[in-house]
Amino acid sequence: MEPRSDSEVPLADRPLVDTGIYRDGRRVATPSSLAETYRYLPGAEGTMAWIGLYRPAEEELLAAAEEFGLHKLAVEDAIVAHQRPKIERYGETLFVVLRAARYLDEAEEVSFSELHLFIGPNFVLTVRHGQAPDLAAVRRRMEADPELLRRGPEAVLYALLDNVVDGYAPVIAGLQNDIDEIETEVFGADPHVSRRIYELSREVIEFQRATRPLLGILRSLEAGFEKYGIDEELQRYLRDVADHATTVAERADGFRQLLDNILTVNATLVTQAQNEEMKKMTEASLAQNEEIKKISAWAAILFAPTLIGTVYGMNFDFMPELHWGIGYPFALVLMLAVCLGLYAVFKRRNWL
């Protein structure tokens, strides 16, 4: 995978979105550049920098990496993007990749955005590659709660995880609504429902790929509570996020199973409808065959006297029957006998 070209993202869309210097849970400075931010940190005990970048240029991220000592593999992931959700620890720095999601109801699509987090002893660096999540709202929430914010970078990590997981709730609601509509369409014999089931199943699978790894991330964080001395109150908050994430993952799994079942039911209903149609066509064909047999039988019966009459109507001079005294009655009796004989044959074979 190649890094994003600078020409793909205008410079106006790659600003230093916001940066703040926090001490004891309160913002004490708002640097206007990364260089100015770095000057606040050395030797400042209890000070934390929270830097937010939106689609940064490669040189901007490399400069931040050099200042904070970020691992080159993590920086490469953040530059290239298109990563799966994961957590990695490089020395004292924690690197987390999250996938925020929004549900586009009109298109019935789940839109994903990547969020890369670098969590260090005295800094939080966020690299956002899409419109979601709303990190400004997270920052406002944390700044409104200095007691939580003074717990350091781990508190910011909790707030970001919580925001991403909470953002999954509207996606779950949107998927549930569309599945309810699909169930109605399936039993309403909508001919286009199979395609809709398939496309929604694909969106659910993508959603699972974003939510399932999050459980592993939270388990890894929980496993490191004691080793890294995570605040007890933060542990409770992170467990709460883990509970919500587990619920989301279970709902996504349930949606996928439900859509599989709906697809099976729809296939069964389609097969039944086809069988009913074939049955009706077969019955119509049998009825048509019966009518054809009747018509053919009567045509044969009526053809016999016509044939006899045609023979006698040729009027050749050397036809001995023409001079019989009983020739005419004989011809009529012969016609009647042939007709009755054919009628008896067809009747015995249930053609009439």
Specify the CATH number for the domain of residue 77.
3.30.460.20
Q: Is residue 20 part of a domain?
A: yes
Q: For residue 322, what is the domain's CATH number?
A: 1.20.58
- Do 261 and 296 lie in one domain? The reply is no
- Do 344 and 233 lie in one domain? The reply is no
pLDDT computed for residue 228 by the predictor: 62
Q: Is residue 177 part of a domain?
A: yes
- Do 165 and 305 lie in one domain? The reply is no
- Do 24 and 102 lie in one domain? The reply is yes
pLDDT computed for residue 164 by the predictor: 92
- Do 51 and 116 lie in one domain? The reply is yes
Please state, as a whole number, how many other Cβ atoms lie within 10 Å of the Cβ of residue 285: 10
Query: In angstroms, what CA-CA distances link 55 with 81, 110, 114?
Result: 10, 21, 10
pLDDT computed for residue 11 by the predictor: 31
- Do 267 and 296 lie in one domain? The reply is no
Q: Is residue 279 part of a domain?
A: no
Q: Is residue 281 part of a domain?
A: no
pLDDT computed for residue 103 by the predictor: 85
Question: What sign does the dihedral 73-79-81-87 (CA atoms) show?
Answer: positive
- Do 45 and 156 lie in one domain? The reply is yes
Q: Is residue 282 part of a domain?
A: no
- Do 41 and 189 lie in one domain? The reply is yes
pLDDT computed for residue 277 by the predictor: 78
Q: Which of 241, 271, 301 finishes a domain?
A: 271
pTM metric for this prediction: 0.72
Encoding tokens for residue 184? 């109605």
The parent domain of residue 298 ranges over: 289-348
Q: Which residues pair with 86 in a beta bridge?
A: 97
**Strand order across the 123-128 sheet:** 26-29, 16-23, 47-54, 123-128, 109-119, 93-104, 86-90
Using only C-alpha atoms, what is the Rg of the chain? Answer: 41
- Do 41 and 126 lie in one domain? The reply is yes
CA pair distance 226, 245, nearest whole angstrom: 22
Q: Is residue 323 part of a domain?
A: yes
Q: What is the pLDDT along the chain (352 residues), one digit of tens a residue?
A: 343 444 344 333 445 678 888 888 888 888 877 777 877 776 666 788 898 888 888 888 888 888 888 888 888 888 887 788 888 888 888 899 999 988 887 777 888 888 999 998 888 999 888 777 888 888 888 889 888 888 888 889 889 999 999 999 999 999 999 888 888 888 877 777 888 888 888 888 889 888 888 888 888 888 776 666 677 778 888 888 899 999 999 999 998 888 888 888 877 877 777 777 788 888 888 778 888 888 888 888 888 788 777 776 666 666 666 667 777 777 788 888 888 888 888 788 877 7
CA pair distance 83, 77, nearest whole angstrom: 7
CA pair distance 207, 205, nearest whole angstrom: 5
pLDDT computed for residue 8 by the predictor: 41
Q: Is residue 283 part of a domain?
A: no
- Do 197 and 302 lie in one domain? The reply is no
Nearest to 4 by CA among 124, 93, 130: 130
Q: Which of 271, 300, 323 finishes a domain?
A: 271
- Count the residues in the chain: 352
Q: What's the total number of domains in the chain?
A: 2
pLDDT computed for residue 80 by the predictor: 80
pLDDT computed for residue 322 by the predictor: 65
Q: Is residue 276 part of a domain?
A: no
pLDDT computed for residue 135 by the predictor: 86
- Do 322 and 177 lie in one domain? The reply is no
